[in-house]
Amino acid sequence: MKKAEHLLSQATLQKSPTGIQGFDEITAGGLPAGRPTLVCGSAGCGKTLFGIEFLVRGTTLYNEPGVFMSFEETNEELIKNVASLGFDLEDLIKHKKIALDHVHIERSEIEETGEYDLEGLFIRLGYAIDSIGAKRVVLDTIESLFAGLLNQMILRAELRRLFRWLKEKGVTAIITGERGEDTLTRQGLEEYVSDCVIMLDHRVTEQTSTRRLRVVKYRGSLHGTNEYPFLIDETGFSVLPVTSLGLEHKVSNERISSGITELDKMLEGKGYFRGSTVLVSGTAGVGKTSMAAHFAEAACKRGERVLYFCFEESPSQLMRNMRSIGINLEPWAHRGLLQFQATRPTFYGLEMHLAVTHKAVNAFNPEIVIMDPINTFILGDTENEVKSMLMRIVDFLKGNQITALFTSLTSSESALESSDVGISSLIDTWLLLRDIELNGERNRGMYVLKSRGMANSNQIREFILTDNGVKLRDVYVGASGVLTGSARIAQEAHENAGLLRQKQDIERKRRELERKRKVMEARVAALHAEFKSQESEALKNLEAEQEIIRLQKMDKIEMAASRKSVTEKRKTKKHTKP
């Protein structure tokens, strides 16, 4: 969009927007206003439909009525043919928004008389323009108008006269023309007198058809010069503006879950960056689609819209298969959060796949896009062309902050750390699933090959599919290498037996210590009892001895008292003697 705005800022020529998705971007605003534009191409490339949509979009979006003058199809045929695009010409004619006029020109009459004059055409076209106040005109096709005119000098003069008359009327005109063998048109003159030349191409390469558009010439304005794929479907034209894709997209620091808890833990416990690209690669049967389904289910549970491109399985088959591992996508599809786009890669050319992807994304406006698998595009095209197409898709999705997950099948002969489509350099997070064959078993392992902007685990995790989805287990690495499956179970059993023996030995030693403690405590208790007994006896002896000592003291006191009394009696007797 920024490049388109840059083109618009430099454009000085007044533009008439066509309303055709993508076309106004590559032409920096549309067709030159008040000037004629030549739309040329081979039969079936969409010239008439381009002109019709130019008129319909003009009157419905920009309030500019238009006149369609046909020299081949009748009005009734034209109305029926464009009804498939959802254009109701009868209603627009009724409200005087569009005027149709079919002019039948008989070549034999011109050859017989030798006369040719555009005055009658000018009067008829002028009346149609004035009757509805038309601002846009389409003449389809110019070969029929000049079919009987062989003189190149007269032909060039009449073409100039026609183009000058259209400019004087001030209408923005489209004139369609059939492509010549070595020229843009059969006469090879129209492109020189036109202010703008648009070439439509419908080519078939290796049984695959592709429609492309190129702005060959645009006087007075910058414009995209590449070939652009375009679609014609039930909604009309849509052109993919490849030149607008670049490296100007914004980035987000928001993280979103992969749907697998163990994988999120390997990515700092937070999952992928929103708006990033994720590649899940590996050999056949390792679980790439299962991881994509997990991601889709997790996004739908968050209330986000998921656009899932299936290139090998039908949606019903994919949903049935995912139910076997506990992932039920069907309710999300019914609720409108999950939309499937299922086509074989060979159904379109690469450019058409690119255009279809753009159209589907713009229509559904998803937060998540899944493409499963992308290596199937290589079947009919070279690796460089596939890489170019996928690079444009990556740029487009990143520019819209859409998180993309791609799966890619890696052949067993090629290196695992490479993708068959060669887009690994465009990927932000690359998850590699691999087979681990040991002891006659085939098991799965997964590791993060890279993840830009975040720390990530360097461990190889055993990848198993269960009734409850994908589970990641720590892979046992022993002396003989990585062990998975029954080898891991046997090794774990051996380790568990060793741990059991260690536990039993520890328990035995603990019991022995407990026995010794109890023996010691019993001995201590016996000694304590013996001591108590001896202490009691000793205390009794001590008390007896103390009682004897007390009694002895009492006897002495009594004896002393007795002696004192005798002595006093003797003294009394002495005093009373006559």
Residue 351 three-state SS: helix
For this structure, is 72 an active site residue? yes
**Which structural domain, as residue segments, surrounds residue 536?**
489-569
3-state secondary structure of 22: coil
Using only C-alpha atoms, the chain has a radius of gyration, in whole angstroms, of: 48
Residues 201 and 209 sit within 8 Å (Cβ to Cβ) = no
List the CATH number of the domain containing 393: 3.40.50.300
Say yes or no: 263 and 162 in one domain.
Answer: no
Greater confidence (195 vs 50) lies with 50
Q: Who wins on pLDDT, 554 or 322?
A: 322
- Angle formed at CA 385 by CA 382 and CA 391, multiple of 5 degrees: 135
What is the arithmetic mean of pLDDT over 95-109? 79
Contact (Cβ atoms closer than 8 angstroms) between residue 32 and residue 16: yes
131/261 same-domain check: no
CA 127 to chain CA centroid, nearest Å: 54
Q: Residues 223, 303: one domain? A: no
Region 477-482 average pLDDT = 57
Return the pLDDT at 369.
96
Residue 577 belongs to some domain of the structure = no
Q: In what helix (H) or strand (E) does residue 311 lie, and over which residues does it extend?
A: none
Q: What is the pLDDT of residues 125-142, one digit of tens each?
A: 999 999 999 999 999 887
Domain boundary among 408, 443, 474: 474
The widest CA-to-CA distance across the chain, in whole angstroms, is 216
pLDDT of residue 6 exceeding 50: no
CA distance 255 to 483: 33
pLDDT of 432-456, one tens digit each? 988 877 666 777 888 898 999 998 8
Residue 469 domain-assigned?
yes
Q: Kindly state whether residue 125 falls inside one of the protein's structural domains.
A: yes
Count the domains in the chain: 3
Query: What is the reported pLDDT for 243?
Result: 46
Residue 263 and residue 230 share a domain: no
Mark whether 342 and 214 lie in a shared domain: no
Q: Does a structural domain hold residue 104?
A: yes
- The answer to whether 351 is a known catalytic residue is no
Q: Are residues 206 and 334 in the same domain?
A: no
3-state SS string over 270-303?
CCEECCCEEEEEECCCCCHHHHHHHHHHHHHHCC
Instruction: Give me the pLDDT at residue 110, please.
Output: 44
Q: What is the pLDDT of residues 185-205, one digit of tens each?
A: 555 555 566 788 999 988 776
Instruction: Please check whether residue 394 is in contact with residue 404, taking contact to mean a CB–CB distance below 8 angstroms.
Output: yes
Query: Residue 390: how many CA atoms within 13 Å on its side-chain side?
Result: 34
Q: Is residue 7 part of a domain?
A: no
The Cα–Cα gap between 441 and 436 comes to 8
Same domain (yes/no): 186, 275: no
Of 229, 249, 247, 246, which is closest to residue 238 (Cα–Cα)? 229
**Reported pTM:** 0.67
Domain boundary among 239, 273, 306: 239
Are 174 and 41 members of one domain? Answer: yes
The catalytic residue among 72, 227, 262, 304 is 72
Question: Which whole number is the average pLDDT over 274-292?
Answer: 90
Give the best-scoring range by mean pLDDT among 81-85, 115-119, 255-259: 255-259
- The catalytically annotated residue of 90, 143, 262, 312 is 312
* Overall average pLDDT of the 338-346 stretch: 86
Q: Are residues 457 and 494 in the same domain?
A: no
495 located within any domain = yes
Most confident of 43-47, 124-128, 305-309, 472-476: 305-309
Mean pLDDT of 275-293: 90
Q: Are residues 233 and 282 in the same domain?
A: no
Percent of the chain clearing pLDDT 90 (strictly above): 28
Average model confidence (pLDDT) for the chain? 81
Alpha-carbon distance of 237 to 21, in angstroms, equals 7
Could you tell me if 432 and 557 lie in one domain?
Answer: no
Same domain, 229 and 280: no
Q: What is the pLDDT of residues 39-49, one digit of tens each?
A: 988 888 889 99
Domain boundary among 474, 507, 533: 474
Residue 2 maps to a domain: no
